[in-house]
RNA sequence: GCCUCGGUAGCUCAGCUGGUAGAGCAAGGGACUGAAAAUCCCUGUGUCGGUGGUUCGACUCCACUCUGAGGCA
């Protein structure tokens, strides 16, 4: 008997992960761990398509509503720590953990040894270099060329966030990012208590986009605007991390009078399509994912059945 | 029925006096190590409505034809 398995359902937004995961959790007697960078925030329900109490049908959900939108410093590291704790907790109760989500980096944090450099985010340093970049494009990248030429070569000068982070690591640890080796996706994480088993949900692009369109309309009808107003009224900064989420950013912009409602709605749809495309790109390179076409299978229940038999097969080593 | 103006990329359109096409938007592909629903990089995807003709050569000129909009009757 090898390591315990850690089961995953991944896929782009609006691909039906929530419905399938709940069906599947019922069959497996599993508890769900969300891998979604927006569902972690309390009060961000409609825009993040967070499953409501009734929709969860009694299945325990972890890593949902674990942070305040006013928080400035939520990060993958925190996600990783808490999620791994949840995994351990679930296993200790002889239940099965099922990770469900579309945030690729969060998923990778659970299946790879992402031994993040011990350089915590430095708000001051980030502000400094963001300013420098605003004044003169490329200045952060020039600085990085001195500190860590190899990373500078790998990163595009316009990719300011990564360039600044690389500087942060050098200045915070005296160590370069490139010295750590960048091939973590090649290694399995021996330190993880579980072996990952991944199922991906997909469907023809056209169909996915139609679902996104419908879903955004639903969010708007269910009161996304009011939700965003509430967040802003409660003191959440429009520039905060949480408010960069899809739908939230555009709605806040509309509320602040920077664009019309229709314009905001169209923008949310377009940006969500692009996001879904990026998610697909991210997950495509993970060759361990077994893909399930939910449309071809004929819906969430059938997909849950198919994934259940796949998981069972893997578990029994067939 | 006659006249006029259109028919070029998924959409809106550009293409000067002939040298097999280009912008915006949409879209596609990719990257991703403490911001990741973030951030960034790359890419034109086309029987130029159809058929003939003139020409070394036609999206461009001519004829016919199909089709859309408007005008006159």
Does residue A115 have a pLDDT over 80?
A: no
pLDDT of A120-142, one tens digit each? Answer: 889 999 999 999 998 998 999 99
Element (H, E) at A200: strand A194-202
Residue A15 CB lies within 7 Å of the nucleic strand B: no
Does residue A189 have a pLDDT over 70?
A: no
pLDDT of A156-167, one tens digit each? Answer: 999 999 999 999
For the entire predicted model, the pTM comes to: 0.92
Helices first, then strands: H and E counts in chain A: 14, 6
Distance of C1' in B26 from CA in A270, Å: 9
Residue A186 CB lies within 7 Å of the nucleic strand B: no
* Average pLDDT, rounded, for chain A: 93
Distance of C1' in B61 from CA in A202, Å: 53
Q: What is the model's pLDDT at position A63?
A: 98
Q: What is the model's pLDDT at position A183?
A: 54
Q: What is the mean pLDDT of residues A290-294?
A: 96
* ipTM metric: 0.91
Residue A82 CB lies within 7 Å of the nucleic strand B: no
Is residue A185 within 8 A of residue A109, CB to CB? The reply is no
* CA distances for A256 relative to A94, A139, A249, A251, A259, angstroms: 49, 32, 11, 9, 8
Does residue A318 have a pLDDT over 80?
A: no
pLDDT bracket for residue A86 (50, 70, 90): very high
From residues 95-114 of A, list those within 7 angstroms of strand B by Cβ. 102-106, 114
Question: What is the CB neighbour count within 10 angstroms for residue A265?
Answer: 21
């Amino acid at each position: 008997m090898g390591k315990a398995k850690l089961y995953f359902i991944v896929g782009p937004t609006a691909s039906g992960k929530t419905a399938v995961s709940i069906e599947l959790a019922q069959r497996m007697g599993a508890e769900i761990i969300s891998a979604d960078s927006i569902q972690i925030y309390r009060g961000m329900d409609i825009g993040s398509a967070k499953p409501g109490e009734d929709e969860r049908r009694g299945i325990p959900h972890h890593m949902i509503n674990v942070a305040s939108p006013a928080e400035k410093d939520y990060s993958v590291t925190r996600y990783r720590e808490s999620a791994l704790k949840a995994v351990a907790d679930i296993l200790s109760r002889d239940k099965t953990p099922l990770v469900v989500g579309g945030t690729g980096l969060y998923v990778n944090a659970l299946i790879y040894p992402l031994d993040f450099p011990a350089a915590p985010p430095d708000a001051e340093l980030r502000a400094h270099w963001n300013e420098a970049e605003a004044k003169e494009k490329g200045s952060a990248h020039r600085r990085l060329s001195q500190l860590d030429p190899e990373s500078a070569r790998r990163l595009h000068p316009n990719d300011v966030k990564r360039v600044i982070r690389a500087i942060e690591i050098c200045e915070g640890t005296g160590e370069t990012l490139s010295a750590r080796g960048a091939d973590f996706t090649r290694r399995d994480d021996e330190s993880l208590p579980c072996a990952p088993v991944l199922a991906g949900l997909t469907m023809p692009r056209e169909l996915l986009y139609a679902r996104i369109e419908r879903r955004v309309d639903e969010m708007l009808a269910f009161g996304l605007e009011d939700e965003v107003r509430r967040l802003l009224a409660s003191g959440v900064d429009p520039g905060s991390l949480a408010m960069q989420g899809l739908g939230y950013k555009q709605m806040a912009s509309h509320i602040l009078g920077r664009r019309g409602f229709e314009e905001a709605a169209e923008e949310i749809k377009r940006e969500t399509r692009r996001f879904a495309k990026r998610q697909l790109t991210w997950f495509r390179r993970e060759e361990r994912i077994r893909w399930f076409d939910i449309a071809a299978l004929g819906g969430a229940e059938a997909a849950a059945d198919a994934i259940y038999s796949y998981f069972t097969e893997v578990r029994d080593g067939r």
